[in-house]
Amino acid sequence: MVTIRDVARIADVSIATVSRVLNDSEAVRPETRERVLDAIKALNYQPSSIARRLSIGRSFTIGVILPFFTRPSFVERLRGIEAALSYSEYDLVVYNVETPARRDAHFAALAGGGRFDGAIIMSLVPGDEDVRRWKAAGVPVVLVDAFHPALTCALGDDVRGGRLAAEHLISQGHRRLAFVGDTRYQPLGFTSSRHRLEGFRTALADCGIILNEDDILLDEHGRREARAMAEQLLARPPHERPTAVFAASDTQALGILDALRGHGLRAPDDLAVIGFDDIEVAEVYDLTTVRQPLYESGSLGAELLRDLLEQPDREPVKVELPLEVVSRGTA
C-alpha cells in the first residue's frame, strides 16, 4: 500500500510538503508542487479522506435535521438536497425528528462543533438561544421551509398560498367552502396549516364570503385523518354541504378523495378539492393543488449552505419561493 511517506521519498520533499500540496496550500513553490503531483500520479497514491479531514480540521459532512422524513413533501426536499450535494466532497447525514426532545437534542449537538461543517434544518424553527450557540460554535445553518431573522432561509409564503387556493375556487363559482388542516396544537411548532388557513379565510372575506367555524375541520396530519374529516362533511344533508374544500396538504386532499370514492361521489362534480404541495402522486390523482417547489427548495438550501461554507461572514438572506395553482381535474 502506497503511503504519503513513499510520495515524499520519490519527490524528495518532506511529508509536510506533500500534505500542503494535498491541501492546496499556497505555501509551496510551483516546481515543488509539480514534482509532488508527478510522484502522486506515478505511484497512484490515494490519500486517506479521514487523514485529510483531520489535517484541515473539517469533517466534510453536512447534517440535515427534519421532521417526519417519510412524509412526501419532506422526501422531495431531501431528494433536492442530496442531488445538489451528490457531486461534491460532502457526505450527508440525516436526522429524523418526531418529538420536541429529539429536536432539542439534535439542535444542542450542532453547537458541539466538529461533527458537521454545516447543517440544513427543514420545517423546524430554532430559538434565539439555539442560533446564538450555533454562531458561537462557528456552524453555518440554513433553514428550509422555516424562518429565523438571523439565519439564511428558503421558504414559501403559506399565507399567500392559502389566498391562491381561495381565489381559484372563487373563480370556479364556489361560495360555500371548507378547510381541512392540521390541529392547532403543534408540539414541533409547525405553522404551515395555520398560515394557509389564514390566507384562505382572508381571501374569502375580501370577496364577502364567510368561512364558517363548522366548515373548518382540524386533526392530526394524515390521509386517514383527512378522510375522517371529509366523512363529517359528507354526512350532512346535501344542501348543507360545502361545494369545495381546501386541504392544507396534498396528503390530506387525497384523504378527501378517498372519502368521496367511498360514497360513490367524485370531484369536482360533488365536491371540488384543492390541495397544497404538488407531491409526486398529485398528478396521478389529477389533483388540483397549490404547487410549491419542494425538490428545488432542497437543492437551493444545499447551494445556500455551500455558499456559507465558502464565505462564513455572508449576511443572512431570505429567499422566497414561488407558488402557483396547478389546475387539474378536481377543482
Q: Is residue 258 part of a domain?
A: yes
User: What CATH number has the domain bearing residue 71?
Assistant: 3.40.50.2300
| Residue 67 domain boundaries | 61-156+294-322
Q: Are residues 273 and 252 in the same domain?
A: yes
Q: Is residue 261 part of a domain?
A: yes
Q: What residues are paired with 66 via a beta bridge?
A: 96
Q: Are residues 216 and 308 in the same domain?
A: no
Q: Is residue 227 part of a domain?
A: yes
Q: Is residue 280 part of a domain?
A: yes
**Cis status of the peptide bond prior to 126, with omega within 30 of 0:** no
Instruction: Report the amino acid identity of residue 291.
Output: R
Q: Are residues 152 and 162 in the same domain?
A: no
Instruction: Please tell me the predicted confidence (pLDDT) of residue 49.
Output: 54
What angle in degrees, to the nearest 10, is found between the helix axes of 72-85 and 250-262? 140
Predicted TM-score (pTM) of this structure? 0.81
Instruction: Please tell me the predicted confidence (pLDDT) of residue 171.
Output: 97
Asked whether the CA dihedral 98, 68, 181, 188 is positive or negative, the reply is: positive
Q: Are residues 87 and 17 in the same domain?
A: no
Instruction: Please tell me the predicted confidence (pLDDT) of residue 54.
Output: 47
Q: Are residues 197 and 239 in the same domain?
A: yes
The number of folded domains in the chain is 3
Q: Are residues 34 and 65 in the same domain?
A: no
Instruction: Report the amino acid identity of residue 18.
Output: V
Q: Are residues 164 and 240 in the same domain?
A: yes
Q: To 5 degrees, how large is the angle CA 215–CA 217–CA 220?
A: 175
Q: Is residue 305 part of a domain?
A: yes
Q: Are residues 31 and 179 in the same domain?
A: no
> How confident is the chain (331 residues) per 10-residue block, as mean pLDDT?
84 84 78 89 73 56 89 93 84 90 91 83 95 92 96 96 98 97 91 97 96 96 97 94 97 98 96 97 97 95 92 91 97 96
Q: Are residues 162 and 228 in the same domain?
A: yes
User: What CATH number has the domain bearing residue 22?
Assistant: 1.10.260.40
Q: Is residue 66 part of a domain?
A: yes
Q: Are residues 135 and 22 in the same domain?
A: no
Nearest-Å Rg of the Cα atoms of the chain is: 26
Instruction: Please tell me the predicted confidence (pLDDT) of residue 3.
Output: 80
Distance CA 314, CA 242 (A): 50
Q: Are residues 166 and 280 in the same domain?
A: yes
- Residue 271's Cβ-side half-sphere holds a number of Cα atoms within 13 Å equal to 28
Q: Is residue 196 part of a domain?
A: yes
Instruction: Please tell me the predicted confidence (pLDDT) of residue 113.
Output: 67
Which of 56, 75, 91 represents a domain boundary (last residue)? Answer: 56
Q: Is residue 181 part of a domain?
A: yes
DSSP code at position 182: E
Q: To 5 degrees, how large is the angle CA 63–CA 189–CA 186?
A: 125
Q: Are residues 79 and 138 in the same domain?
A: yes
